[in-house]
Amino acid sequence: MRIPTALPRILVGGIFIYASVDKLLAPTAFAAAIANYQLLPQGLINPVAVWLPWLELFVGLGLVSGKLIRGAAAIATTLMGIFTVAVAYSYIRGLDINCGCFTMDPKSISDMRLVLVRDIGLMALCLMALYRAVLEQQNSQNKKTE
Partner 1 sequence: MIRRTFKEIALLLALSLLVAAATYTVRDDVPVLFSKNSAPTLQAPMNMPTAPAPLTPEQAHEAFTTEDVLFVDGRDNFDYDMGHIPGALNIPLHEATADPAILAVLPKDRHLVVYCSNDLCGKAQKLAALLTERGYRADTFPGGYQEWTTHGWKTEEALQ
Contact residues: partner 1, CB under 8 A: 27-28, 31-32, 35-36, 38, 42, 45-46, 49-51, 53-55, 57-59, 62, 68-72, 74-75, 93-97, 111, 137
Q: Decide whether 5 or 27 has the Cβ nearer to partner 1.
A: 27
CA 116 to chain centre: 13
Q: What minimum distance in Å lies between the beta carbon of 126 and partner 1?
A: 14
Q: What minimum distance in Å lies between the beta carbon of 20 and partner 1?
A: 10
Name the CA dihedral angle for 95, 99, 100, 105, rounded to a multiple of 10 degrees: -100
Q: What minimum distance in Å lies between the beta carbon of 86 and partner 1?
A: 14
What is the rounded CA–CA span in Å between residue 117 and residue 114?
Answer: 5
Where b means 16+ CB within 10 Å and e means fewer, 45-54 reads beeebeebbe
